[in-house]
Amino acid sequence: MAILSDSKTRKKIVRVLVADGSRIHTHLLTDALKRDPLLEVIPFDSSSSSLVSAVASLNNDVLVISANLDEQPARGLEVLRELRAAGRTIRAVVLMDSLKDEVVLNAFRAGARGIFSKSQPVELLCKCIQCVHEGQVWASSREMIVALDALASAPTVRAVNAHGLSLLSKRELQVVRCLAEGLSNREIAQRLDLSQHTVKNHLFRVFDKLGVSSRIELLFMTLNQSAPGQSATEGSGNGSGRAEFRDEFALLQKAAEAGLPAAQLALAQLYLVRRTDPQDAVRAYTWYLVALERASQAKGLITKMLTASQIEEAHKEAVTKLSQPGTEPSLDFDWLSATHLQEGGLTKR
């Protein structure tokens, strides 16, 4: 026993910051963890809004954080994303009330290195903390399968030239994968620790390399998992790319039918890019008209909030933006966009 004790004392003390779902639970868990002599435990009992700055100032090794904070579902996961966006690389153990697949996957995506159920004993949590501190991942086999299945089914880009060499850099591939997840430029910038301007530059280079002229075309290529020059029916031999595209296409159609103009325009563009059926052009125009009507309604609401001079200013800025290089309509949207400009009153008379 003496030998074991001596070996333990030679181990590095792990500094742990605890942020459980409530103040009382935080202190109860802190007191329980303090029984382990290898842990130096600090309770965080302030508002979650100050947790990011606390992590930066306290210099902890491991953060033990509840998925739900301040009586807000998934607030703990939002904090982890904020930490990553701020460039804070701390190893986090997420305390989970539920181990449903979706919640587990969201925890991993937020940056969790350990998944721990609140129903498990504290002694096991101490082991979890030590493992995470040593650079390991703490999760059950089922939870790891959830993460691996999500990784395996994630859209991939296989952009290669005639010699099979990748056309995109590692960073460009990261940007495209984020785009395939539906992230905005701002969200991509936060995830990859880049400026929004840098993200835009990466996308411009990707457009040029892959021969696409819009995010929608790029998304179509990504979801279809086809290399440039391949048809939509080509791609991976097992058909998984086509299955993924059908799933994403169904989600986009559902959003369009729910009345979202952006989804309606995106669906119209996808029909135009695909055109595997003679009716695809008709469907594209149908969704374009629907989106235009929705946008017109939104335009009416916005104009009520503006003065005549502000409306005139907006029209001038819109005309300027539409005349800039890189903003020209792509593919068969030329004739649609011309109709849009005339109906929107932006063309010169």
pLDDT in tens, 282-330: 887 888 788 777 777 767 767 777 788 888 888 888 777 666 544 444 4
Angstrom distance (rounded) from CA 167 to CA 234? 19
**Separation in Å, CA 213 to CA 181, 207, 336, 343:** 19, 6, 16, 24
Angstrom distance (rounded) from CA 332 to CA 293? 20
Write the CB contacts of 101 (distance below 8 Å, at least 6 apart in sequence). 146
Task: List the structure tokens of 337.
Answer: 């966009």
**Neighbouring C-alpha atoms within 13 Å toward the C-beta of 186:** 1
Nearest to residue 268, comparing CAs of 328, 205, 217, 206? 217
**Domains of the chain, first to last:** 2-153 (3.40.50.2300), 154-235 (1.10.10.10)
For 215-273, the pLDDT digits (tens) are: 766 766 665 443 333 333 333 333 444 454 555 566 667 767 777 766 777 777 777 66
Question: Which pTM value belongs to this model?
Answer: 0.48
Q: How far, rounded to the nearest angstrom, does the alpha carbon of residue 71 sit from its chain's CA centroid?
A: 24
38 or 146: which carries more pLDDT confidence?
Answer: 38
Write the CB contacts of 132 (distance below 8 Å, at least 6 apart in sequence). 62, 91, 92, 93, 113, 114, 138
Strand partners, 115: 94
Longest dimension (CA), the chain: 93
- Which residue type does 58 have? L
Q: What strands, in cross-sheet order, belong to the sheet with 14-19?
A: 39-43, 14-19, 62-66, 91-96, 112-117
For 37-91, the pLDDT digits (tens) are: 999 999 998 888 888 888 878 788 999 999 999 888 889 998 888 887 676 778 9
Q: Judge contact between 154 and 132, C-beta under 8 A.
A: no
Task: List the structure tokens of 322.
Answer: 């539409």
E strands present in 28-120: 39-43, 62-66, 91-96, 112-117
What sign does the dihedral 144-149-150-156 (CA atoms) show?
Answer: positive
